[in-house]
Structure 1
Amino acid sequence: MAKAAKTRTVYVCTACGGETPKWAGQCPDCGAWNTLEEQVQASAPTPAARGRSRGQYAGDQGVRALADVPTDEETRFSTGIGELDRVLGGGLVQGGVILVGGDPGIGKSTLLLETAARLPASHSAFYVTGEESLRQVGLRASRLNVSAEGLRLLAETSVEAILDAAAAERPGVMVIDSIQTLHTEALGSAPGSVAQVRECSAQLVRFAKQTGTVLFLVGHVTKDGQLAGPRVLEHMVDTVLYFESDSGSRYRLLRAVKNRFGAANELGVFAMLDTGLHEVKNPSAIFLSRHEEAVPGSIVMVTREGTRPLLVEVQALVSESPLSNPRRVALGLDGNRLAMLLAVLHRHGGVSTFGEDVFLNVVGGVRVTETASDLPGLMAVLSSLRDRPVPQEWVMFGEVGLAGEIRPVPNGPERLTEAAKHGFHRALVPAKNLPPKGQRPSELEIVPVTRLDQAMDALF
């Protein structure tokens, strides 16, 4: 029988691309320090090996015309957790690879164990742990009160042993907790190194695509909140999910930053309780403080996370600064955009904040990245500066331009419908977001504005 291609280990410089058979502190080609990384290279494959490598993914049949490729929608199946299905775009797709990242203790293993336990019997689950013993996983399952007779467990860190076990089990869903603990026998570097993470991920992704197994990979994060390991890891997978949470908060936000099978930037909300993660069906309710009476500097806005309109409270505090350079602090919003909006407020609204510290915060730890927060943020600053509360019946959204104009934002009618559902009676919106008369919520009075000074007059 013809032999497959042999592999060899080399060390490649990340600065110049030079290769050397042995590791050294300094690259012999360019002289850079600590840039050599271990990689596996294969020699030229034999004709038989090349023949076997063709059609490596299930369903591939060589070169085909684009018009002949079937475009039927992917068959999805539910995870049993509604918020996770929403973030994934409607459920799991066969052969999909999902990377889940987040800070230690935020709930990654808890969520995936609950997901594996709730899967239908037609999609068996295979849970591989490299960080815990089987007893520890069993104790956590007992605490979460989950029981799945079809859930199979394995405590292993060798990717070759995991693939052999998975080939025998043939699961519908496989969970790897975590990718940084695995190692391949083809490399001599320690688990968690760049080369090990890249090579182990490549083997697991190849297995998932060939067999149609849904693969969950748990990834560690650095102190900056980024996924540890090579950046190519995020390119290899189909979906990247991030867990977010404020320190001390019991709420967890699961955000999709990449999704080949659904909308990116979709958001799921969970509450961490003693019995595990529980879905929050109406997240707008937990992000709204609903003060007993109106307070200065508090504005409710309608943001949009993926396909979901979300009501959040924006709070501002403006106070006299003892510093020669007043502070501009934004939590949950872009700090550079806050400085720009304060300049627009001075130039086109006639209100200056040169001698005041300005603090802006989105309640509940939500991070708002869209420009619909411009108008609520400025009105909250103005309310705190003048010590004049905005009535609680008001809700608003809109982008503020450098010329002082109020620009429209996407999906205006959906935002207004969400505001009406939560009992708001007046909405301050860009004029171009005003829906036709027949599509306006009857219980909501809509005030359209085109300029910043019109918005200021409408509120104050």
Structure 2
Amino acid sequence: MARSPTSFVCQSCGAAYTRWQGKCDSCGAWNTIAEESAATGVGARPGKPGKKGRTFALAGLDGANDDAPRTQTQVGELDRVFGGGLVKGSVILIGGDPGIGKSTLLIQASARLARMGHRVVYISGEEAVGQVRLRAERLGLSASPVELAAETNVEDIVATLSEGATPRLVVIDSIQTMWTETVESAPGTVSQVRSAAQVLIRHAKKSGAAIILVGHVTKDGQIAGPRVVEHMVDAVMSFEGEGGHHFRILRAMKNRFGPTDEIGVFEMTGKGLREVPNPSELFLAGRDLGAPGTAVFAGMEGTRPVLVEIQALVAASSLGTPRRAVVGWDPARLAMVLAVLDAHCGIRLGGHDVYLNVAGGLRIGEPAADLAVAAALVSSLSGTPLPADAVYFGEVSLSGAVRPVAQTAPRLKEAGKLGFARAVMPDTSRGDAAEPGLATQTVGHLSTMVADIAAAGVAGRPPEPRS
């Protein structure tokens, strides 16, 4: 019998080589290349030449669709990130650090969906059925009609799911533990993960069942396994959270059926994950009023306005190269703001250590936080506290001009709802929206805000609003 050919595959990125080497040329990882036999199943090399394919029917765009477009899980924050609910036949990959609460979130969603009369199947490849039952009992979900199984063979899983009514939701926890008989390699390898995912995706598209795959993450926070799996699925979600905080954030990294800038906020309690419909109150709880170096940023996460506190500490440095430490924001963006303050506002921070933190552990990605960061830095350097009833938002350009940002109205509305009395925002946003009871201070150049903070420090009072 002829010996099956082998190849050497990187277990980090999936790149294939004809011989072993210590470093992967594709992703740069060391000692991740392992020998695997040539794939003979799904996702393998083409079969024997000359095989004739079968014909299939083609449909038009104007066909009727009697199925409901989405099924809500009754977990509002989860449905928000999904884009309004589960789409029939969709495959979703959810990743997160170990112990962050992925299994807890999915068992809660499965229980709520099963109570609505839908068939829900939860398959665990890491825990026994008894362990899953213990978690459900702790969460008070033992009476929910969720079907459980502990299995890792995808052929057996697909055969079981094909019997009876089509499940509305299938949870696979996790995809790294699944294996298929068509690939001769250990579970968790690139070939096994790719092939097992392909079998499950094919079943989802054929049967119409929505499948959620749980994925492990690497040390740098990326979902483990080949990147091709992220391209195969319909949506990729990241479940984030800091060890010192009790809340969790579900963020969409890819979504074919909804936006990718929405987030869902949950709070970890003794009874499982609790939805947080108003994250601003959670992120602003316990803030130190009147302390220099703190500013409230009115941001947007998708369609939801979120108010968070920006904390900055500027201290004289004894090092030749001052330290720059950033948590929750882009370090390159901080370097740009520091350069603009130095070049156009006369704020010399080259001999100071700068520490920046987004309170609560939320990660901010939009440039509208530039103005709030600059205000916190100047406040910390001068020792002048900013007004406790003011919010800041605006993008700072390299020339020092404060550029307008989108969705001004919901930012102001959220600030007024939480009791803030003034908003410092770009000059060109004056006529975009107005919130009753909220005074607006427009800023056209960053030096104007710096001068107001400096003048307030000399006078010994917070900066007064200017129309």
1:325 counterpart residue number: 321
1:173 counterpart residue number: 169
Question: Which digits, 9 at most, give the CA deviation of each residue in 1:19-77, with x for residues without a partner?
Answer: 87xxx6469xx9x9946554233524887x732xx55xxxxx4264x6x4679997111
1:76 counterpart residue number: 70
Aligned-partner SS, 2:170: strand
Aligned-partner SS, 1:168: coil
Aligned-partner SS, 1:410: coil
1:3 counterpart residue number: none
Gaps of 5+ in 1: 1-7, 56-60
2:226 counterpart residue number: 230
Question: Which digits, 9 at most, give the CA deviation of each residue in 1:375-433, with x for residues without a partner?
Answer: 10011000000000001011010110110100111111111111111111110001122
Aligned-partner SS, 2:325: strand
Question: In the aligned structure 2, how far is the partner of 1:112 from the partner of 1:18?
Answer: 34
Give the counterpart of 2:268 among 272, 284, 287: 272
Question: In the aligned structure 1, how far is the partner of 2:68 from the partner of 2:414?
Answer: 30
1:196–1:17: structure 2 CA closer, same or farther, 3 Å change rule?
closer
Letter in 2 for 1:145: G
Letter in 2 for 1:330: V
Give the counterpart of 1:88 among 76, 82, 87: 82
Give the counterpart of 1:186 among 182, 188, 193: 182
1:17–1:343: structure 2 CA closer, same or farther, 3 Å change rule?
closer
Q: How high is the sequence identity, in percent, across the aligned residues? A: 47
| Aligned partners of 2:96 and 2:221 also within 8 Å | yes
Give the counterpart of 1:446 among 440, 445, 452: 440
Question: In the aligned structure 1, how far is the partner of 2:91 from the partner of 2:143?
Answer: 22
Aligned-partner SS, 1:364: helix
1:130 counterpart residue number: 125
* Residue 411 of structure 1 pairs with residue 411 of structure 2: no
Aligned-partner SS, 2:300: strand
* Residue 295 of structure 1 pairs with residue 295 of structure 2: no
Which deviates more from structure 2 when the two are superposed, residues 400-409 or residues 165-174?
165-174
| Aligned partners of 1:417 and 1:441 also within 8 Å | yes
Letter in 1 for 2:47: S
Gaps of 5+ in 2: 457-467
1:149–1:259: structure 2 CA closer, same or farther, 3 Å change rule?
same
| Aligned partners of 1:258 and 1:265 also within 8 Å | no
Question: Which digits, 9 at most, give the CA deviation of each residue in 1:213-251, with x for residues without a partner?
Answer: 000000001111111100011111111111111122211
Aligned-partner SS, 2:53: helix
Question: In the aligned structure 2, how far is the partner of 1:18 from the partner of 1:385?
Answer: 53
Question: In the aligned structure 1, how far is the partner of 2:434 from the partner of 2:163?
Answer: 58
1:106 counterpart residue number: 100
Letter in 1 for 2:214: V
1:193–1:388: structure 2 CA closer, same or farther, 3 Å change rule?
same
TM-score between both structures, scaled by the size of structure 1: 0.89
1:378 counterpart residue number: 374
* Residue 43 of structure 1 pairs with residue 37 of structure 2: no
1:376–1:181: structure 2 CA closer, same or farther, 3 Å change rule?
same
Question: In the aligned structure 1, how far is the partner of 2:446 from the partner of 2:288?
Answer: 29
* Residue 344 of structure 1 pairs with residue 373 of structure 2: no
Task: Spell out the pairing of 1:235-274 with structure 2 (5 A cutoff).
Answer: 235-274=231-270
Give the counterpart of 1:144 among 133, 139, 146: 139
Measure how far apart 1:354 and its partner are.
1.4
TM-score between both structures, scaled by the size of structure 2: 0.87
Aligned-partner SS, 2:179: coil
Question: Which digits, 9 at most, give the CA deviation of each residue in 1:256-277, with x for residues without a partner?
Answer: 1111111102111111111111
1:220 counterpart residue number: 216
Question: In the aligned structure 1, how far is the partner of 2:88 from the partner of 2:436?
Answer: 44
* Residue 197 of structure 1 pairs with residue 193 of structure 2: yes
Aligned-partner SS, 1:215: strand
Measure how far apart 1:450 and its partner are.
1.0
2:392 counterpart residue number: 396
Question: In the aligned structure 2, how far is the partner of 1:434 from the partner of 1:302?
Answer: 16
Letter in 2 for 1:259: N
Question: In the aligned structure 1, how far is the partner of 2:335 from the partner of 2:366?
Answer: 16
Question: In the aligned structure 2, how far is the partner of 1:162 from the partner of 1:382?
Answer: 59
Question: In the aligned structure 1, how far is the partner of 2:429 from the partner of 2:195?
Answer: 50
Aligned residues: 435
